[in-house]
Amino acid sequence: MTVAHSRHAAFPLAMVLALLMTACAPAATGPAASPSAGDSPRKGGTFVGVVTGDPQTGNRDTNTDLNTFYAFSPVFSSLVRVDATRTASPELAESWTISPDEKTYTFKLRKNAKFHDGSPVTSADVKFTAEEVAGKYQAQAISIFKNVERIDTPDDYTVVFVLKQPVAIFQLALGQQVMVILPKKIYQGSDPRTNAANNAPIGSGPFKFKEWVKGDHITLVRNDDYYIPGLPYLDQVIYRIIPDAGSRTVAFQKGDIDFLPGQYVAREQAKDLASVPGVQIDDHSGPPGQELMFFNLTKKPLDDVKVRTAIVMALDQKAFVERAFFGSGAKVATSHIEIDLGAYHSPSVKFPAFDVAKANQALDDAGYKKGSDGIRFKLRIMYSPGNDSDRRSAELVRDQMVAVGISVQSTPLDQAVIAKQVFTDADFDLFNASVTSNNDPELGKSRHYVSGTIGASYGNGSRYRNAEVDQLFAQGAATSNVDRRKDAYWKVQEILAKDLPTFPLVDYNNIDHARPEVRGFGATPLGFPYHRMDNVWRTK
């Protein structure tokens, strides 16, 4: 027997409960989720957003670069859309059924959905995207889709996922935060990471790609053949490329951009942004995240856990909260899973305590004595300069390492090359990044620690391998029972706190700012990078 899902389908109850317990922070309602009396959507106008640099690619399914997600999410569609209640609602799939054992998902596709080149979206496109693109190259998808036994396409508008075992958040993985559907005929027979279409992406979403002027802007225009009647409202969406955080703040104050996402805000300038007349502020935008420092375990001396432990002991996390995040939406991280993930965060995990004297002794004991110049060894820490908190965190690591005789060079790395240099080539020592939890350990955390995501963009950058951790994450993904998932993730946190392939410096929430004339944000609890923009409109 199957459970039928209508056009307003939601997760099975067990999944809903699991997801709700995962997120103790309030669901993001968005800055304009409750328009004032008399407000009603109107057609027309241009929305101007911002990214911090050129996206790594126009292909959402080969990386998790923030600029790629933000600038190109409106171009694409997914099987389902995750709505503000953290349930799956129809997107390309108009209905679906789930078998009682939660191992077979059968989706019926809309027959009116077309790619921007006019070709229909079919089950063959879904199967190809899942098997040959997202399942191979997208870090979040890799760890989830490994549980797919096969994908059947009995006809052009039916696609069936048969799982090896139940996956608690499988429907979420078919939503906009993980996989968008690509046209098979364009990508088949090519490397999807280098296909020319990545520079002018073709999807089936509410907006079509128009132009990408490197270093300046990306323009999308309304898709008049969008499969949802009456949408989108806007004529076009422009993303300006502004690397400097201060310049982004000024642009927002002047009205040159309409929306400033939390991860693109210099937090010491939050008061300046809040003073804009009529500004709409969402102080819990999307899921919680962490400022995460990756150790490259393939490089000496960072392959030695004693050295990694000593480095952690030399880092004062409170300073990162106060000086990198200015206390705004941030707190000291106490484990590798955010406090705001509720039941899945272990309160019993203990990181090595901040103690410079013990850190120095530990480095001596590990065989790394100070030289005549007071230096034990040299490291490079890399970061994306477009994220002000990443930059400040990297600089704090550099400054705090002086006390233990480690010379650290703080090196900005353009967002467009991070995927290759850090995650593919492992050409780094330390790497600092703001990473999202996606409100679930399987969606946001496992990708950084399971061996199957080594080499994937924003995957397991440390190249950490631990068979027990792989198994525990698999156990957590295979059940919707909160207690069983909690047990697996608590054990993972105990292991990671000892092995320290990464070190979470700060837990944070994003704080988004929208101009008063913008409406329609808040349709997703996942935050701005996944917004389709079809519900966004302007009051003038």
> Each residue of 62-72: pLDDT tens digit?
988 889 989 99
Q: Which residues pair with 150 in a beta bridge?
A: 162
Residues 6+ away with beta carbon under 8 Å from 381: 293, 394, 397, 398, 408, 409, 410, 411, 429, 430, 431, 432
- Roughly what angle, to the nearest 10 degrees, separates helices 356-365 and 305-313? 160
Q: Which CATH architecture describes the domain 287-510?
A: Roll (3.10)
Please say whether the beta carbons of 505 and 293 come within 8 A: yes
Can you list the pairs that 241-247 forms with residues at least 24 positions away whose Cβ atoms lie under 8 Å?
241/50, 241/51, 241/52, 241/53, 241/54, 241/215, 241/216, 241/217, 242/50, 242/51, 242/52, 243/52, 243/53, 243/385, 243/386, 245/269, 245/386, 245/388
Query: What local confidence, expressed as pLDDT, does residue 314 receive?
Result: 98
Over the stretch 81-101, which tens digit does the pLDDT of each residue have?
Answer: 876 566 788 999 999 999 999
How far does the chain reach from its first CA to its final CA, in angstroms?
A: 51
How is residue 194 annotated by DSSP? T
Query: What local confidence, expressed as pLDDT, does residue 36 receive?
Result: 43
Query: What local confidence, expressed as pLDDT, does residue 526 receive?
Result: 52
Query: What local confidence, expressed as pLDDT, does residue 417 receive?
Result: 87
For tokens 């059947």, name the residue: 152
Query: What local confidence, expressed as pLDDT, does residue 527 receive?
Result: 59
Query: What local confidence, expressed as pLDDT, does residue 2 receive?
Result: 34
Over the stretch 427-451, which tens digit does the pLDDT of each residue have?
Answer: 999 999 999 888 889 888 999 999 9
Query: What local confidence, expressed as pLDDT, does residue 437 receive?
Result: 86
Query: What local confidence, expressed as pLDDT, does residue 521 receive?
Result: 74
Which stretches of the chain score pLDDT less than 50? 1-38, 523
